[in-house]
Chain A
Amino acid sequence: MQEFEFEIVMGLEIHSELATKSKIFCGCTTEFGGEQNTHVCPVCLGLPGVLPVLNRQVVEYAMTAGLALNCTIAEFSKFDRKNYFYPDLPKAYQTSQYDLPIAEKGWVDITTSQGTKRIGITRVHMEEDAGKLVHGGGTLAGAGYSLADYNRTAVPLIEIVSEPDIRSVEEAIAYMEHVKAILEYTGVSDCKMEQGSLRCDANISLRPWGQKEFGVRSELKNMNSFKTLQKALEYEIERQAEILRDGGVVVQETRMWDDAKGVTISLRSKEEAHDYRYFPEPDLVPIIISREWVDRVRAALPELPEARHERLVAAYGLPSYDAGIITDSKAMADYFDAACRHYGIEPSPIADDDGYRQADQQGKDRAKQISNYMMGELTRLVKEDGKGFEDCPISPENLVGLLQLLEAGTISSKIAKTVFETMYATGKEAKVIVEEKGLVQISDEGAIAKIVAEIVDKNPNVVADYKAGKEKAVGFFVGQIMKATKGKANPGVVNQLLKAELDRR
């Protein structure tokens, strides 16, 4: 945002459903969907007399996420009740963590067009998800009643709270993407935003440049896609800026993005909000985490996005930008590594001074080819289909098959594009498609020379143009030759033979 007259101050609260099989305090499945109220039992419904018991895996995942976000894991942690009335919350309180969260004081480094920046993580805590309301009569406001489905109730969540370190919409998106990547890499969450597995709230305020105190903030609720996040933040920033420009005062309140209208709307003001009367959950005993337990979870952490980014740059010579895009998604990074393996790109057995095992130049060139195809055509096709790289119809092995045909000169790069599209549509191997459609590149000099001579014979006036110094004439001939060979002629051979033929005239 250039020359914006206010400084933007934002913090995000990211909610992520954990990848456990069962709910946080009972054995009901966490599976998405299902017929209404069939993944429910007296414990998650909060019926009188039941006793919740904490799922150990929830603690393990929360610790994993905390450590991956560079947090300190608490030695002593407990649950509290957050009290409020809402029909998606059958107990009338949410079991959450208040003053003693499982992890605190972490950070992540994000990369934007402005460079790298550190965003602080205030805390990570465990809690339970709420149920789902279906509104009779269509719209929320027009409904006469609501229908409650508690299948999602008590699916385990972690909430990741950032410091108010975010200064632009671009930073907010980059932060969300980075946290998503970390959660995916660690396997803590499937991060399926369309299923609500990952969503966020934002605290936003503006202040005049140079002012130390924060402005009055609004809290934007429940943004569950990157597109929504961007649109909602941009709208809210402009809304507040307009109020301040007119000399008005921003009201502290909770607002919600209305996607259909493209505006944020007020849900409740400060007077009613945030009076949750937290108190310690008497049904759950405290959690004490030993040093050994923390060390065990830390040792099991996989390679994280930053480390992988550095490895792709060092080992394969990828530009940092390319490596950043590839490693932002675990599925994409896994695809890249698998393709490199299939291509036989072997990092040197001996590490360089920085401890990286580099591939040789041929390996780096091949890796760059893989990355180009992934970031260009493949990303375009996958995105058009609304898919991820994990569901890509072209396997890493088959992509390498195509690149090998290109490298061997069996097909031209132009033909490769066609083959690629067919591979994506059919899932077939490149070799099979090339054989079926007779797309093998013609490199036979005799055959090409014959076609070159024919075409040059047919166009004496263009030959005259060439003799008169018009370089464009060459382009015309190449086009005609490619047309005659359906794009299969080896361009290098064509250029060479054409030049010789023209010079002979």
Chain B
Amino acid sequence: MSLTKAEVEHVAMLARLALTDDEVAMYTTQLNAILDYAQRLEALDTSAVAPTAHVFPLHNVFRDDVVRPSMEQAKIVANAPEEEDGFFRVPRIV
């Protein structure tokens, strides 16, 4: 299994990462090394092992449908890069 340069560029685009050509080359090499290492798992016979959805042996952890106080507006927007009238001000989209 080998990741192409084009695939790395595509993933970088999806992650909104602006990479230089050198960085794309570097990450292609590094990501391929990681994938090669993970590929060692394929040597194991897992035909009798059920797919794992979660690493903890837990299921059905629920809370009751009860309303609790929210955080106050001033605290919520305190860390916003930009704020206006209790809203998060964000760059224009579309």
Contacts and interface: CB of A to CB of B under 8 A. Distances in A.
Interface stretch (A102-110, A166-174, A203-211, A282-290): A282-290
A453 to B, nearest CB: 74
Interface in A137-157: 140-141, 143-150
B94 interface: yes
Nearest to B50: A76
Nearest to A87: B90
B71 A41 contact: yes
B94 A140 contact: yes
Interface in A194-218: none
Given A54-B61, A59-B62, A145 B70 contact: no
B67 A145 contact: no
Interface in A30-78: 35-42, 45, 53-59, 76, 78
B70 A40 contact: yes
B62 A146 contact: no
Interface string A104-140: 0000000000000000000000000000011100001
B40 to A, nearest CB: 21
B73 to A, nearest CB: 5
A146 B93 contact: yes
Interface in B67-93: 67-73, 76-77, 84-93
A147 B84 contact: yes
Point out which of B14, B56, B93 has the most chain A C-beta atoms below 10 A from its C-beta.
B93
Contacts, number: 124
Given A29-B70, A100-B53, A144-B92, A36 B87 contact: yes
Contacts of A41: 70-71
Nearest to A23: B67
Contacts of B59: 285-288
A145 B54 contact: no
A36 B61 contact: no
A285 B56 contact: yes
Main secondary structure of the interface of B (DSSP, over half): loop
A22 B67 CA distance: 5
A87 B54 contact: no
Contacts of A27: 63, 66-69
A95 B42 CA distance: 29
A287 B91 CA distance: 38
Interface size class of B (residues with CB under 8 A): 35 or more
Contact of B14 (A76, A146, A277, A286): A277
B63 to A, nearest CB: 4
B62 A56 contact: yes
A133 B73 CA distance: 17
A36 B22 CA distance: 45
B60 interface: yes
Contact of A21 (B56, B61, B66, B69): B66
Nearest to B91: A145
B90 A35 contact: no
Contacts of B84: 147
B67 A29 contact: yes
Contacts of B90: 87, 133, 145-148
A373 interface: no
Contact of B61 (A38, A133, A134, A285): A285
A191 interface: no
B62 A54 contact: yes
A36 B72 CA distance: 11
Interface of B: 10, 14, 16, 53-56, 58-73, 76-77, 84-94
Interface of A: 20-22, 26-29, 35-42, 45, 53-59, 76, 78, 83, 85-87, 100, 133-135, 140-141, 143-150, 267, 275, 277, 280, 282, 284-288
Given A29-B70, A277-B14, A285-B59, 19 more contacts: A26-B68, A27-B68, A38-B86, A39-B70, A54-B62, A55-B62, A78-B53, A133-B90, A133-B93, A143-B92, A145-B90, A146-B90, A148-B90, A267-B94, A275-B10, A280-B53, A287-B59, A287-B60, A288-B60
8 contacts: A20-B65, A22-B68, A40-B71, A141-B94, A146-B90, A146-B91, A147-B84, A147-B88
